[in-house]
Amino acid sequence: MKLLTLNCHSWLEENQLDKIKILAQTIKEQEYDVIALQEVNQSIAAEHVNGIIKKDNFMLVLLDYLKKENILNYEYTWDFSHIGFDIYEEGLGILTKHPIIEKYSFFITKTVDPNYWKTRKIIGTKIKYNNKHITFYSCHLGWWGEEEEPGKQQIDTLCDEALQDELIFLMGDFNNDANKRNEGYDYLLSKGLYDTYQLSKVKDSGITVAGKIAGWDNNKAGIRIDYIFSNHKVEVNHSTVIFNGTNKPVISDHFGLEVEIDLKL
């Protein structure tokens, strides 16, 4: 099973359509089973085309580019978390080429006001894979030291809602540096989660943010804040950073993370 997670930084990138095309071509090449995306934005002012989905929804545009590549077998899940930059409805998305059994969406912050940028929502998709059910969540958390919406409380709510006996994967931008001890990364592991990067037989640096970005203004060295966690120990063949300028062009302020898992179901 091949998985990809990427914080898209959508509609805030220069040459955005060219970057969507690169993403679509990579999806065609790699044939990912599940893709978790964060900062999947649409304009507040855009026309509604399907329920809460609007015409310029990043996910819809990506799907159009996939159609141009003759890739028609992906289903999607999307939901809106909060207003970003005053003009976007910022959301999360999941793409999968496997049958969707159930969809989930829930808040992990105390506030549920979409007008407040610190509001955080998680979405999930349960799929059928080799006659077994597996659930995937696209996650975009706040920061550990946040006072109004503490990182610990966000992780507690996420794990209380998502963790179960069956196999689950938490994928996304967790905004917690793996090198900082006794903070969010260690707390996530204390919940019984496994970091697929650590489980992987073959891995690179794992760095997903190379320098200063919003929320990490003092970052000068590379940091690892994008992850794919599992609630069970799984066999991971490789964990690879992608869209970092070495392995595919840069298409966002975050690099992507892909893993290949050998599931013995």
pLDDT of 265 higher than 80: no
The candidate with the shortest Cα–Cα distance to 121, out of 163, 158, 173, 168, is 158
Q: Could you tell me the fold of the domain covering 2-262?
A: Deoxyribonuclease I; Chain A (3.60.10)
Question: What average pLDDT does the segment 132-137 reach?
Answer: 97
Encoded tokens for 239:
């964990």
CA distance 13 to 79: 21
C-beta of residue 22 within 8 angstroms of C-beta of residue 248: yes
- What would the pLDDT profile of 203-262 be if each residue is shown by its tens digit? 999 999 987 666 666 666 789 999 999 999 999 999 999 999 999 999 999 999 999 999
What is the per-residue pLDDT for 165? 83
Question: What average pLDDT does the segment 180-201 reach?
Answer: 97
Alpha-carbon torsion angle 59, 60, 64, 70, nearest 10: 60
Domain ranges of the chain: 2-262
Q: Which residues lie below 8 Å from residue 144, measured CB to CB, with a gap of 6+? A: 151, 152, 175, 176, 180, 183, 184, 187
CA distance 228 to 52: 28
- What would the pLDDT profile of 51-106 be if each residue is shown by its tens digit? 999 999 999 999 999 999 999 999 999 999 999 999 999 999 999 999 999 999 99
What is the per-residue pLDDT for 218? 65
The candidate with the shortest Cα–Cα distance to 18, out of 257, 243, 211, is 243
CA distance 27 to 230: 22
